[in-house]
Chains A and B, each alone.
Chain A
Amino acid sequence: NAGVTQTPKFQVLKTGQSMTLQCAQDMNHEYMSWYRQDPGMGLRLIHYSVGAGITDQGEVPNGYNVSRSTTEDFPLRLLSAAPSQTSVYFCASSYRNTAGGEQYFGPGTRLTVT
């Protein structure tokens, strides 16, 4: 199993550009989520999905879109990049109602917006 994969690992964007961060998992997990991590801020939930075709907003959804057309993939789209979106982005997955609370994280995408 590859686990949770994310691409790209690093990205530099100019203000106003759009892009998609890719996330895929091969563990047949229903639940997938996107977080951003800024220094001293912990992990903040952007969007999440409890299954194909179902998505919902987290704490900081503005400026981001998601879709979940398959169980495996959960891309995150930045509509018009802003310097405030400079951050490290993590995708995570788990079983929807896992008894143990565990989420599996991808390696992260480090995004800089200039």
Chain B
Amino acid sequence: GQSLEQPSEVTAVEGAIVQINCTYQTSGFYGLSWYQQHDGGAPTFLSYNALDGLEETGRFSSFLSRSDSYGYLLLQELQMKDSASYFCAVRVVYGNNRLAFGKGNQVVVIP
């Protein structure tokens, strides 16, 4: 079976930094992705880590430690538009893109 743990809600002010954690226990592991979803919208891809370390994409960074079965998404210089749910997803099968998603973490940005 698959288990991905994410804390539920974070509130932060504009300009702050937020870290969203993800610990996973899955039948296979071939990479960790992060997705953003605004209320009423579809998930959109943010980042992907196949190897240990930090990946930076603009204001967002993602980190992976395979030995700890742990990753995080770092949101810097928070903006109001970053208010959304954030999901981690593990690629669980070698050779295709089957993903197992966590329950998500809601980030609320306040002025």
Known: A105-B44, A108-B42. A98 touches B103 (CB 8 A): no
Q: Is A97 within 8 A of B97, CB to CB? A: yes
Count of inter-chain pairs, beta carbons less than 8 A = 68
Main SS class of interface, A? loop
Q: A43-B43, A90-B42, A106-B42 are in contact. Are A100 and B48 (CB under 8 A)?
A: yes
CA distance A99 to B45 in the complex (A): 13
Contact indicator A101/B50 (Cβ below 8 Å) = yes
- Which residues 25-74 in A have Cβ within 8 Å of B in the complex? 31, 33, 35, 40-45, 48, 50, 58-59
The CA-CA distance from A102 to B91 in the complex, in Å, is: 10
* Cβ-neighbour of B87 out of A31, A40, A42, A98 (below 8 A): A42
Count residues of A near B (Cβ-Cβ below 8 Å): 30
Q: Write out the residue numbers on chain A whose beta carbons fall within 8 Å of the beta carbon of B71.
A: none
CB distance from B25 to the nearest CB of A (A): 15
B97 touches A107 (CB 8 A): no
Task: List the interface of chain A (C-beta within 8 A of B).
Answer: 31, 33, 35, 40-45, 48, 50, 58-59, 90, 92, 94-108
16 further contact pairs, Cβ within 8 A, besides A33-B98, A42-B104, A48-B98: A35-B101, A40-B103, A43-B43, A44-B101, A50-B96, A58-B98, A59-B100, A94-B97, A96-B95, A97-B97, A99-B50, A100-B48, A101-B50, A102-B45, A107-B42, A108-B42
